[in-house]
Amino acid sequence: MADFVDIYGLQRDQAVTAGLLHDAAKDLDGAQLLALAQEGGIELFDPTEQHPVYLHALVGAYLVQRDLHISDQEVLRAIAAHSYARDGRSGNTRLLNCLRVADILAPVEAWEGVQKLKRWVYAGRLEEASLLHCAWSIDYFREVGVPLHPNLQKEFAALSAKIPVREAFFDKSDNPLED
């Protein structure tokens, strides 16, 4: 996230905080996540939000606020919405969209398409990077049986309508001629 501060005009403290803490609840199991959501009064707005892929973000924001006393609402909203689960108030801020992209660019393991996504995001083309993120997330979730959150589908549709791209744009090859 620190790399994106200058590229996208983010506030460094917000970017770094969101980047470091966004997966605070990632390692909790489904039952733990649901119990913490209930404890925190987290309202789920769609049935898909019960799935750990989505719920970890909502619970993570709660834990970051509760345990670490983080009160920056933009940071908390970005953490809560980075998995596309949200209550509609989060909006698509630059911080949030950078967090979503940074989340899958984190150097955990190499994966097909990472260089292509990096090219777009480091060139200051966050909307194109976000479109790739949405498309590839949808493909991956379908492949592994994760239900698609309506917000993910809406975001993909909105970006697809706004950004004219050829079908080759979505290919995960690292060939820049296919962008």
At residue 67, the pLDDT reads 98
Per-residue pLDDT of 155-176, as tens digits, reads 999 999 999 998 889 998 766 5
Enumerate domains of the chain plus CATH numbers: 4-178 (1.10.3210.10)
At residue 178, the pLDDT reads 52
Which whole-number Å values give the CA distances from 12 to 23, 129, 151, in the listed order? 18, 21, 27
pLDDT band at residue 177 using 50, 70 and 90 as cut-offs: very low
Per-residue pLDDT of 24-62, as tens digits, reads 999 999 999 999 999 999 999 999 999 999 999 999 999
At residue 167, the pLDDT reads 87
Tokens representing 135 are: 């498309």
Distance CA 97, CA 78 (A): 8
Query: What pTM, to 2 d.p., does this model score?
Result: 0.92
At residue 159, the pLDDT reads 94
One-letter identity of residue 86: R
Q: Which residue has the higher pLDDT, 87 or 68?
A: 68
At residue 173, the pLDDT reads 79
For the chain, the straight-line distance linking the first and the last C-alpha, in angstroms and rounded, comes to 24
* 3-state SS track over 116-148: HHHHHHHCCCHHHHHHHHHHHHHHHHHHHCCCC
Per-residue pLDDT of 100-151, as tens digits, reads 999 989 866 677 888 899 999 999 999 999 999 999 999 999 999 999 999 9
At residue 91, the pLDDT reads 61
* Eight-state DSSP code of residue 87: -
